[in-house]
Amino acid sequence: MKVIGTEASQVLASRIADELGTAVVDVKFSRFPDGELYVCAGGLDEEMVIVGSIVDSDSLVQLLLLIDSCENSHNRLIIPYMGYARQDKRFKAGEPVSARAVALAVSRGAAACITVNIHDKKVNSYFGIPSTDVSLAPDIGTHIKKMDLDDPLILAPDDGATVFAETVAAVGNWDCDHLDKTRISGDEVRMAHKNLSAAKRSVVIVDDIISTGGTIATAAALLASQGARDVHAACVHGVFTNGAYARLKAAGIREVVCSDTIERGCSQYSAALRIAGALGR
């Protein structure tokens, strides 16, 4: 068995190889003058683990090319972050189900797939191969333990993230709550935590993904006004579009951290161990 990764997942692929006690394959990545992508993988094995986060269209094409490069191997596919997964249904006529289109495209040439905190687990059913999802919520809880906060409040940014936040909180037996959003008008939203007070407490806002960071920035301002000692944010997928990381820091959040499903400077915990376990290390 060997591990191979796209450019977007080269660090995570190497970490997975380390966890599995095997080698990572060297890949040449380049681009033709007309913009087309080129890959060339050397030293393949009869069993391959192919790792590639889909962070943009180029990374999707690279992943497709790597899968085809490994056509003579038995391949297991790892998609740490799956872009296009949030378009998991048609919202209006004429739209594609993008999650299904991508899932089916990457299924050809692989025997099985592992995703990490995918947007909705029903997306796993769109793959043409057996597909399972693993969660890094416990790993975020382990990271929070290392932060050595005094009785932190774990806070989900909305009701939909409550189960995720509860899993994080269970690691340290911490209090857990979620924010309620009430729309006052077309452009005004009132936000409040549901049950517990944040006064004089360290608060960690947790979610599977931080994209624009707007909700979390608003929540940080609310928590500060209610006397929170400090506010932190932790997620699995640090997308951070349109300057979201800086927006969160400017909102007064002391620490913003994510995993290496998308490789960032603030990646503080790795999906490698969880993925290696799912591979049956």
Token pair, residue 277, equals 């376990």
Whole-angstrom distance, CA of residue 182 vs CA of residue 233: 22
Q: Which of 92, 181, 200, 249 is catalytic?
A: 181
C-alpha dist (Å) from residue 112 to 50, 127, 132, 133: 11, 9, 8, 11
Q: Concatenated DSSP letters for 38-62?
A: EEEE-S--SEEEEE--B-SHHHHHH
Whole-angstrom distance, CA of residue 108 vs CA of residue 274: 24
181 catalytic, yes or no? yes
Whole-angstrom distance, CA of residue 112 vs CA of residue 21: 21
In the chain, the largest separation of any two C-alpha atoms, in whole Å, equals 60
Point out the residues that are catalytic.
181
